[in-house]
């Protein structure tokens, strides 16, 4: 049975900032089964202490019970998930164990093609679109034995606003707070114990912002390292596909399963993939980690800036060398990104938009109209800025093994009064105070890793971002894993 969970207008109680709201729920450390890591449940499944069928049943029951209030899934694939779980259990019992994803229930962002399942991309114009093939990433996850629970909610067309006829994901730490941009449903599902992994996408921060807002791990691989074939695009030259998980080890497991060349994606990288998970134990002694204090503290919440300093101290105590570096000028990045992303989005949507404009929400209407109105000169100027920034980022990253900065300049802020409003600068500024920590790394195609690094005084997650040169996912995961093992932030869950 396929259950559509998001085809109704969200109630005003969830889209209006509440006055005098109660304090958000305190973090809990007790690890119930649904909050365990992928690697933990994988060991239990491999040893046959845990049944994939029973685990999937429990997760479906939890989604039906909890997600009615969180809206992290737009489609629940109950029958297909149970069939996949039964197949996994038979294979494992017969000695055909495929690896750590075998029999593990996961979610996928609803812009990855899933054969025979509606793939809406957060839109109503695609509400009846049912692809007849899987995205390459979906096939690779199925080949690894993963059990797909359903499709996670996202912003319309993977841009900032949501379509007004679809429900908006709710932050499990505080229902009145933002959940991040496009991969918001994926972040909520992982954080709330509604799947062990979700696949997200990132064009300008859409893995990192929801990872930060919901307190989970997000890995944005090098551009082209993970295939985009069968993925509804936002902006094809900026889109990255990657995992959102509970731990860095879990992100490494998923990356190892989905990374690699794909002949169907002409932007796919040819270099062989070296498995990341086996390299996590190498530690970080002698690793050169860059830090730009101005970039990481200017217009950044003081508590978060202080938390980042503690991250650096912890990394240094484990043998890393902290190196002062300087980010290139990013003052023009946001405007250039908007020109590039909207033009490329308009190129994809224009045929549908011309026929069915009435099915588009106000936010995506603004994107398509703005992008369609840009001239070739304006697009070329934006590409020039992109090339200059990418060159500066790559030059800086060439001097260190990785770079540390915030994933987002602030904790999840109160929801904008109208989340369906067109993506104006004013409404965006209510979500991200200083939008300089993500888009430059899409310009450069750099891999990034977001990891929880503390909590604010009002109980909301902080997140640190590790950034590296092309194909440095193993280095980033080593650094993130070392920090994670020396702290306990990843063991805290929202008390739902």
10 Å CB burial of residue 278 (0-12, 13-18, 19+) is exposed
206 flagged as catalytic: yes
- Reading the block at residue 412, the tokens are 């999840």
Closest CA to 200 of 209, 192, 37: 209
Catalytic option among 206, 227, 268, 296: 206
Catalytic option among 37, 51, 72, 182: 182
- Reading the block at residue 423, the tokens are 């993506």
10 Å CB burial of residue 339 (0-12, 13-18, 19+) is buried
Catalytic option among 109, 167, 220, 415: 109
H-run or E-run covering 448 = strand 448-455
Q: The tokens 């915030």 sit on which residue?
A: 406
In Å, how far from its chain's centre is CA 322? Answer: 27
The DSSP bridge partners found for residue 218 are 244, 450
Q: In Å, how far are 98, 390, 398, 432, 433 from 440, measured between CA atoms?
A: 37, 7, 16, 15, 16
H-type alpha helices, 259-398: 293-297, 302-317, 333-356, 362-373, 376-397
182 flagged as catalytic: yes
Q: In Å, how far are 167, 217, 236, 330, 426 from 333, measured between CA atoms?
A: 31, 25, 17, 5, 17
Q: The tokens 């994606």 sit on which residue?
A: 265
Calpha distance 377→369 (Å, rounded): 17
Whether the Cβ atoms of residue 213 and residue 176 lie closer than 8 Å to each other: no
Q: Cite the active site residues.
A: 109, 182, 206
């Amino acid at each position: 049975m396929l259950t559509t969970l998001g085809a109704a207008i969200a109630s005003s109680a969830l889209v209006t900032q509440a006055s005098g709201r109660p304090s958000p729920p305190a973090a809990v450390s007790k690890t119930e089964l649904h909050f365990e890591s992928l690697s933990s449940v994988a060991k239990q499944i491999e040893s046959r202490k845990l049944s994939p069928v029973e685990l999937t049943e429990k997760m479906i029951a939890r989604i039906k019970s909890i997600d009615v209030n969180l809206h992290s899934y737009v489609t629940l694939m109950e029958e297909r998930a149970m069939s996949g779980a039964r197949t996994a259990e038979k294979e494992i019992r017969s000695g055909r164990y495929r690896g750590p994803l075998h029999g593990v229930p996961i979610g996928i962002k609803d812009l990855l093609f899933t054969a025979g399942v509606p793939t809406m991309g957060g839109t109503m114009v695609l509400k009846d679109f049912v692809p007849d093939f899987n995205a390459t990433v979906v096939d690779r996850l199925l080949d690894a034995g993963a059990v797909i629970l359903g499709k996670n909610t996202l912003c319309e067309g993977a841009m900032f606003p949501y379509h007004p006829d679809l429900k908006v994901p709710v932050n499990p730490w505080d229902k009145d707070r933002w959940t991040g941009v496009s991969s918001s449903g994926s972040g909520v599902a992982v954080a709330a114990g509604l799947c062990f992994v979700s696949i997200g996408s990132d064009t300008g921060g859409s893995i990192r912002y929801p990872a930060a807002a919901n307190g989970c791990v997000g890995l944005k691989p090098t551009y082209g390292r993970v295939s985009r074939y069968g993925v509804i695009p936002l902006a094809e030259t900026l889109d990255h596909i990657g995992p959102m998980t509970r731990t860095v080890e879990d992100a490494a497991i998923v990356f190892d399963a989905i990374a690699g060349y794909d002949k169907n994606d002409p932007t796919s990288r040819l270099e062989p993939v070296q498995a990341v998970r086996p390299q996590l134990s190498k530690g970080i002694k002698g690793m050169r980690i860059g830090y730009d204090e101005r970039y990481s503290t200017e217009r950044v919440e003081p508590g978060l800036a202080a938390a980042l300093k503690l991250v650096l101290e912890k990394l240094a105590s484990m043998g890393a060398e902290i190196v002062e570096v300087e980010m290139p000028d990013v003052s023009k990045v946001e405007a250039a990104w908007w020109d590039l992303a909207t033009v490329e989005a308009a190129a994809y949507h224009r045929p549908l938009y011309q026929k069915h404009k009435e099915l588009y929400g106000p936010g995506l209407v603004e994107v398509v109209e703005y992008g369609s109105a840009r001239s070739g000169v304006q697009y070329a100027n934006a590409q020039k800025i992109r090339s200059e920034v990418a060159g500066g980022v790559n030059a800086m990253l060439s001097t260190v093994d990785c770079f540390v900065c915030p994933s987002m300049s602030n904790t999840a802020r109160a929801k904008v009064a109208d989340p369906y409003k067109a993506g104006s600068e004013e409404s965006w500024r209510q979500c991200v105070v200083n939008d300089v920590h993500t888009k430059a790394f899409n310009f450069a195609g750099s891999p990034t890793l977001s990891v929880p690094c503390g909590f604010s005084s009002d109980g909301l997650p902080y997140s640190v971002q590790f950034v590296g040169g092309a194909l440095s996912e193993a280095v980033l995961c080593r650094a993130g894993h070392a920090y994670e093992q020396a702290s306990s932030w990843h063991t805290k869950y929202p008390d739902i």
